[in-house]
């Protein structure tokens, strides 16, 4: 007999998630390419949803989902789910940042070292038959001050990985206090802007954090730092970042996220900014893969199952 407990999975997931849900008596509809409208048409039958950042679970969708009991978000950031409204309907919402926080932290380290030691840019030169040493002299991370904005799962994981590099970490989090230890110091934004040689963003996207990295922010920087963003593209204003690079207010940028990640749908201004960034030897761009490791792929499913007590 077919189970009436339907779970709709709207993204690619590890097989263990499908297997565990099936073992627990759920009927799994695995539709990693489903659109918003297609989901809306069938969500009234669902008891559970597994989502990423591809489809918004808004008030309209929630009102349609009369049988819905829970929503599992693979990864971090709940900005596309109306969590407050879902809670008024008794719908449990969980995310799984614990599953990919180490992947993000390692990715940040990789991008940072790549920039400081000019690994990517010198490799591209060698591909063209150019062998240059002096201009590719690297900068060591040891002894530097690293500013971390947002000290949640990924920010704190990045800080821990920095422990062996002999750095000072200045960490700011609006909602967390009392986490200073050894090389990790609590700081405010002004202190990070004044002293940090590297600044990495690890914040959710909301009304307060949108365009946190703007012209005013870049103007306040005093050490010409490297800027890293693996959180959400709109945390940084791309135009203002581009100007900061042109005006030498920052020494480089490593971005895993962009304001518009649909490259075929860039506006004229966005295309100009994107093309500028891709031409710079002191910029590294990756396609939103910081938390996308093979290990995180399974860990995020495990965290979701544990939080949902499935």
Q: What is the CATH number of the domain that holds 115?
A: 3.40.50.720
Q: What pLDDT was estimated at residue 76? A: 87
Starting from the edge strand earliest in sequence, which strands make up the sheet with 252-255, in order? 184-186, 168-172, 145-149, 198-201, 226-229, 252-255, 283-285
In whole angstroms, give the CA distance from residue 63 to residue 245. Answer: 46
In whole angstroms, give the CA distance from residue 282 to residue 115. Answer: 6
Token pair listed for 148: 């971390």
- Its pTM stands at 0.94
Residue ending a domain, choose from 45, 74, 95: 95
Average of per-residue pLDDT values in the chain: 96
In the chain, what percentage of residues exceed pLDDT 90? Answer: 96
Residue ending a domain, choose from 54, 75, 95: 95
In the chain, what percentage of residues exceed pLDDT 70? Answer: 99
Token pair listed for 151: 């000290």
Angle at 111 between CA 107 and CA 113, to 5 degrees: 115
pLDDT in tens, 261-279: 999 999 999 999 999 999 9
Q: Is the pLDDT of residue 295 over 90?
A: yes
Asked if residue 72 and residue 52 are part of one domain, the reply reads yes
Q: What pLDDT was estimated at residue 310? A: 85
Asked if residue 191 and residue 66 are part of one domain, the reply reads no
The dihedrals phi and psi of 226, each to the nearest 5 degrees, come to -80, 135
Token pair listed for 186: 């609590």
Q: What pLDDT was estimated at residue 113? A: 98
CB 26 within 8 A of CB 6: yes
pLDDT in tens, 133-161: 999 999 999 999 999 999 999 999 999 99
Asked if residue 56 and residue 19 are part of one domain, the reply reads yes
Asked if residue 182 and residue 107 are part of one domain, the reply reads yes
Q: Is the pLDDT of residue 3 over 80?
A: no
Number of domains in the chain: 2
Asked if residue 163 and residue 89 are part of one domain, the reply reads no
Instruction: Classify strands 226-229 and 252-255 as parallel, antiparallel or unpaired.
Output: parallel
Q: Is the pLDDT of residue 255 over 70?
A: yes
Q: What pLDDT was estimated at residue 154? A: 97
Q: Is 138 helix (H, G, I), strand (E, B) or coil?
A: coil
The residues facing 50 across adjacent strands are: 9, 72
Q: What pLDDT was estimated at residue 4? A: 81
Instruction: Classify strands 168-172 and 184-186 as parallel, antiparallel or unpaired.
Output: parallel
Q: What pLDDT was estimated at residue 77? A: 86
The residue count for the chain: 310
Model confidence band, residue 289 (pLDDT cutoffs 50, 70, 90): very high
Q: Is the pLDDT of residue 20 over 70?
A: yes
Q: Which of 143, 141, 137 is nearest to 109 (CA)?
A: 141
Report the b/e string of 214-229 with b at 16+ CB within 10 A.
Answer: beebbeebebebbbbb
Q: What pLDDT was estimated at residue 2? A: 58
DSSP character string of 4-61: S-EEEE-S---HHHHHHHHHTT-EEEE-TT--HHHHHHHGGGEEEEEE-SSS-B-HHH
Give the structural domain span for 186.
99-285
Asked if residue 235 and residue 211 are part of one domain, the reply reads yes
Asked if residue 131 and residue 69 are part of one domain, the reply reads no
Q: What is the mean pLDDT of residues 9-26?
A: 96
**CB contact set of 37 (below 8 Å; sequence gap of 6+):** none
């Amino acid at each position: 007999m077919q189970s009436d407990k339907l779970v709709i999975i709207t993204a690619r997931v590890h097989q263990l998630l499908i297997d565990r849900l099936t073992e627990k008596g759920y009927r799994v509809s695995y539709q990693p390419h489903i659109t918003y409208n297609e989901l809306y048409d069938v969500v009234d039958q669902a008891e559970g949803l597994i989502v990423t950042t591809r489809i918004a679970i808004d008030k309209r969708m929630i009102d349609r989902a009369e049988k819905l009991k829970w929503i599992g978000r693979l990864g971090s950031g709940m900005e596309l789910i109306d969590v407050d409204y879902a809670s008024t309907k008794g719908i449990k919402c969980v995310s799984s940042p614990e599953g990919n926080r180490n992947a993000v932290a390692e990715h940040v380290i990789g991008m940072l070292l790549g920039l400081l030691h000019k690994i990517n840019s010198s490799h591209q030169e060698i591909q063209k038959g150019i062998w240059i040493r002096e201009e590719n002299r690297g900068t060591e991370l040891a002894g530097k001050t690293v500013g971390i904005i947002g000290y949640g799962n990924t920010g704190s994981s990045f800080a821990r990985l920095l422990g062996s590099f002999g750095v000072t970490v200045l960490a700011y989090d609006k909602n967390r206090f009392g986490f200073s230890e050894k090389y990790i110091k609590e700081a405010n934004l002004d202190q990070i802007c004044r002293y940090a040689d590297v600044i990495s963003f690890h914040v959710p996207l909301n009304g307060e954090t949108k365009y946190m990295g703007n012209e005013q922010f870049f103007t306040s920087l005093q050490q010409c730092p490297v800027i890293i963003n693996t959180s959400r593209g709109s945390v940084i204003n791309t135009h203002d970042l581009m100007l900061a690079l042109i005006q030498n207010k920052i020494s480089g940028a490593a971005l895993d996220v962009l304001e518009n990640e649909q490259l075929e749908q860039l506006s004229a201004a966005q295309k100009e900014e994107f093309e500028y960034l891709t031409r710079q030897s002191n910029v590294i761009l990756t396609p939103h893969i910081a938390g996308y490791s093979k290990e995180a792929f399974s860990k995020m499913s495990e965290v979701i199952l544990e939080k949902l007590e499935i």
